[in-house]
Structure 1
C-alpha cells in the first residue's frame, strides 16, 4: 500500500507537471493563432496578386489582338495603295521625270 505522504507527493508532482503542460499548450495555441492570422493575410494578398496577374494577362491578350488587327489593317491599306506605273518605271530607271521641286538658283 502506498503511504499517504507518497500520494500527496505524487499528486503535487502531477499537478505541477499538468500546470507546465497547460502553460506550454496555451503558448502553442497562441503561436498557432498568430500563424493562422499570418496565413489568412497571405491568402488575401495571394488572391489580390492572382487578380492582378489575371488582369495583366487579359491586357496582354487585348494588346496582342490590337497589334494583330493593326497588322491586318496595315496590310489591307498597303494592298490598296497602287503606285502609278509611270512613277514606278521612273523610280526604277533613276529618272525623276520632273517630280522634284525646282529650287531657285
Structure 2
C-alpha cells in the first residue's frame, strides 16, 4: 500500500479492526452524502461510515459507495470517538472489495 496520511484523520493506534454487516442508510441532505449502517434492522443508524472525501474512489477495485437500503458488509477501523453519538468506522473494504489501505 501507499501512504495515505495527512487526511485529518485520527491516530491509527486508536482504531479497532471490525467487520459489520447491515443495511446502508444514506443521508443526502448535506452537500456530500453521509453514510450510516443499521446493523440490527431497526431502521436506526448504529455506525457512521467514513468513506473519505466525497471525490475519493479506489483505483485498484470496483468498489462503490452503497445506495440507501443496500445490504452491505464493511471491514474497517472503528475509532473510539463518536460522531453524533455514533461510533465511526473508517472503511477499508465494502462487500469484500478494497476501498482504502488501513493506517
* TM-score > 0.5 by shorter chain: no
TM-score range, shorter chain: under 0.3
Q: Scaled by the length of structure 2, what TM-score is found?
A: 0.15
Q: Scaled by the length of structure 1, what TM-score is found?
A: 0.15
Higher RCO, Cα 8 Å, sep 6+: 2
Please identify which structure carries the higher strand content.
2
Please identify which structure carries the higher helix content.
1
Specify the structure having the higher radius of gyration (Cα): 1
